Every structure is written in structure tokens, then in C-alpha cells.
Amino acid sequence: MPENRELGRHIIAEFLGCSSEVLNDIKALRKELIKAAERAGATIVEEAFHKFEPQGVSGIVIIGESHLSIHTWPEYGYAAVDIFTCGEYADPWKAYEELKSVLKPKYVSVMEVKRGVDIGEWSRQ
């Protein structure tokens, strides 16, 4: 691996002002997370989703390159979105854009964390 290169890219997003109905719809969220993984060019391995009572959904799509997850609080119009991809081919920002276009948040806070940066340096110690 070349010096100063990351192993993965991790998008952490806060979506506020989303539709409560969408955030509480387990079937729609499952469909959209899978679609986002496909749009990113990722290899889907497995998925798991859970609907909470009285409301809220948690879901994860495990991809060969890592994962996409969502945790929703419909009563606040809030979704915590996590997109982590490793390797050179899957693009986490494409998955992010897909989810943003579907959830239509009024406010977004997003950051990218480079994972495994300079791991070659660490492994030589």
C-alpha cells in the first residue's frame, strides 16, 4: 500500500427535518439502503433491519467493502447515517447522495473520516 493512503472512507451524517413517515417505514428504508449500496458500487453481502415500537428503525447493509447503516428517530425527524467503504471501487459519497435525495433532510451535518491512514507506518513499529 502506498504511503499516506487510507484503507477506508467513513461518512458520518446527521439528517434533520426528514419526514417522520419515511423514517418509520422499515420497507422503504431497507429498499433505499440497498439502492444506496448499489449506487456506490458496493457488493451487498447481508442486511438486517429492526422496527422499534412505538417508532423508529435501525438497519444495516453489510457490504464486501464494509457497511451502510441507519438509525431513525421519527419523532424528531432525525436519522443517523453511517457509510463506511474500504478499497478503491465503492464510493461512499454516491451512497450518501442517494440517501440524502430520498430522506430529504432540511439540515445536514456530514463529515468524512479517513480510516486506516498511514497503517503501513504503524505496522512497521
pLDDT digits (tens, 9 = 90+) for 68-122: 999 999 999 999 999 999 988 999 999 999 999 999 999 999 999 999 887 666 5
Q: Is the pTM of this model over 0.95?
A: no
CA 33 to CA 47: how far, in whole Å? 9
Which positions are annotated as active-site residues? 66, 71, 86
Residue labelled with grid coordinates 445536514: 108
Surface-to-core class of residue 96, CB atoms within 10 Å of its CB (0-12 exposed, 13-18 middle, 19+ buried): buried
Reduce the secondary structure of the chain to three states and give it as a string: CCCCCCCEEEEEEEEECCCHHHHCCHHHHHHHHHHHHHHCCCCEEEEEEEECCCCCEEEEEEECCEEEEEEEEHHHCEEEEEEEEECCCCCHHHHHHHHHHHHCCCEEEEEEEEECCCHHHHHCC
CA angle 21, 27, 63 (to 5 degrees): 120
Give the tens place of pLDDT for each residue, 8-39. Answer: 999 999 999 999 999 999 999 999 999 999 99
Give all domains of the chain, ordered by start, each with its CATH number. Answer: 8-116 (3.60.90.10)
